[in-house]
């Protein structure tokens, strides 16, 4: 891929000392390894609204059905400042071509899920909130994938999220000169195997969506946005080894008549070993890519599946 996908990230995760106590919370695999294949865009919402470092801790509080962001020591309310900043920055990030966002977990500004929310003066919080910046970002940009760094310490979650980021990047590149019906259909066709391997029912659902929206005379830019929003929602559920293995078998079906009986058996056995967890995805994938090169098969529908993230990221050896 010519240029790297842009990935927004909570600034403390890339080692910036912007936490309330002047510390960082570096997620080294992201900041030092995967970053070779991504353009990281760090952002700290609390520093962004002028809170400085170090600063008092703030918390989410629910009052009269509304969520506020306050300093519990003196009651200072940061809600309006944070909402305004979040709207502006979310729009800027989206228009600059950000393909995903990795947020710091548990933060009242950046957390994605299970963030503490206090009720009035009750010292017991309920973990049912989402950071205020994150709420605005995801509401304004439901088509952009997000995740907490805590989930990315699980290789399967990391691989799946990064595949969603690269899928988004491909979409952005395809539509950079503007969308038309032909480009949308081509993008969908090129990604059918990728979708089958990650969220099988979305393949047909998205095909229908395109047809229905164009039947109603929808603008291609709107159709493309709806397409990515629905696709990312479907991709929000982690895929399984079985789905990936099934997609691999489909690829093998494209060149199996060119293999000897032994070669075919070796490849199918390797895919089966992957499916039951005896070998990582890397093992059958490398052999499949070897045959694709040898038989000079470079169809996009196959490469979008086999190159869903760069092999050099090292994740295929762990999933
Ligand atoms: S969690 Fe978010 S607000 Fe807190 S230090 Fe990190 S980037 Fe800043």
Mean pLDDT value across the chain:
97
Cβ-proximal residues to 80 (8 Å cutoff; 6+ apart), any chain = none
Q: Residue 112: CB within 6 Å of ligand 1? A: no
Residue 10 CA to ligand 1 centre (angstroms): 6
Buried b (16+ CB within 10 A) or exposed e, 204-223: eebbebbeebeeeeeebeeb
Residue 247, token pair as written in the block: 């997609």
Take atom 8 of ligand 1 and give the residue whose Cα is closest.
44
What pLDDT was estimated at residue 226?
98
Q: What percent of the chain has pLDDT over 90?
A: 97
| CA angle centred on 60, ends 59 and 65, rounded to 5° | 155
What distance in angstroms lies between residue 19's CA and the mean position of ligand 1's atoms? 6
Q: CA angle 178-231-39, nearest 5°? A: 65
The CB density around residue 280, as the number of other CB atoms within 10 Å, is 17
- State the pLDDT at residue 1: 46
Query: Taking Cα atoms as reference points, which of 106, 89, 81, 99 lies closest to residue 44?
Result: 89
DSSP at 38: S
Distance 47 CA to ligand 1 centre (A): 8
Please name the residues in contact with 89: beta carbons below 8 A apart, sequence gap of 6 or more: 43, 45, 48, 133, 137
Question: Quick one: pLDDT at residue 121?
Answer: 79
Closest ligand 1 atom number to CA of residue 107? 1
Rounded to whole angstroms, how far apart are CA atoms 314 and 66? 44
- Each residue's pLDDT tens digit, 95-104: 999 999 999 9
For residue 258, the CA-to-ligand 1 centroid distance in Å is 54
Is the CB of 16 inside a 6 Å radius of any atom of ligand 1?
no
Q: What is the structure's pLDDT at 120?
A: 80
Angle between helices 220-235 and 155-174 (to 10 degrees): 170
Q: Is 104 in the pocket of ligand 1 (CB under 6 A)?
A: yes
Closest CA to 105 of 121, 125, 129: 129
Tens-digit pLDDT string for the chain (319 aa): 458 999 999 999 999 999 999 999 999 999 999 999 999 999 999 999 999 999 999 999 999 899 999 999 999 999 999 999 999 999 999 999 999 999 999 999 999 999 999 998 788 999 999 999 999 999 999 999 999 999 999 999 999 999 999 999 999 999 999 999 999 999 999 999 999 999 999 999 999 999 999 999 999 999 999 999 999 999 999 999 999 999 999 999 999 999 999 999 999 999 999 999 999 999 999 999 999 999 999 999 999 999 999 999 999 999 9
């Amino acid at each position: 891929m010519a240029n790297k996908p842009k990935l927004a990230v909570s600034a403390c995760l890339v080692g910036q000392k912007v936490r309330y106590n002047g510390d960082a919370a570096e997620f080294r695999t992201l900041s030092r390894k995967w970053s070779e294949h991504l353009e990281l865009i760090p952002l700290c919402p609390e520093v962004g609204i002028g809170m400085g470092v170090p600063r008092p801790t703030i918390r989410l509080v629910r009052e009269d059905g509304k969520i506020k962001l306050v300093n519990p020591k003196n009651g200072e309310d940061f809600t309006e400042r944070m909402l305004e900043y979040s709207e502006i920055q979310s729009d800027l990030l989206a228009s600059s071509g950000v393909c995903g966002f990795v947020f710091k977990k548990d933060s009242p500004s950046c957390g994605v899920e299970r963030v503490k929310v206090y009720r009035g003066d009750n010292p017991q919080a309920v973990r049912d909130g989402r950071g205020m910046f994150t709420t605005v970002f995801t509401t304004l940009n439901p088509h952009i994938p997000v995740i907490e760094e805590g989930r990315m310490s699980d290789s399967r979650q990391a691989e799946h999220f990064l595949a969603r980021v690269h899928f988004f990047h491909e979409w952005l590149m395809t539509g950079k000169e503007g969308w038309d019906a032909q480009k949308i259909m081509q993008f969908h066709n090129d990604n059918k195997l990728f979708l089958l391997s990650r969220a099988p029912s979305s393949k047909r659902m998205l095909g229908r969506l395109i047809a229905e929206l164009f039947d109603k005379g929808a603008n291609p830019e709107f159709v493309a946005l709806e397409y990515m929003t629905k696709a990312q929602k479907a991709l929000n559920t982690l895929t399984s080894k079985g789905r990936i293995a099934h997609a691999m078998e489909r690829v093998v079906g494209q060149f199996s008549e060119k293999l000897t009986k032994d070669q075919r058996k070796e490849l199918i056995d390797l895919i089966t070993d992957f499916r039951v967890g005896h070998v990582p995805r890397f093992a059958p994938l490398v052999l499949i890519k070897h045959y694709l090169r040898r038989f000079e098969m470079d169809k996009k529908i196959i490469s979008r599946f086999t190159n869903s993230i760069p092999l050099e990221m090292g994740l295929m050896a762990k999933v």
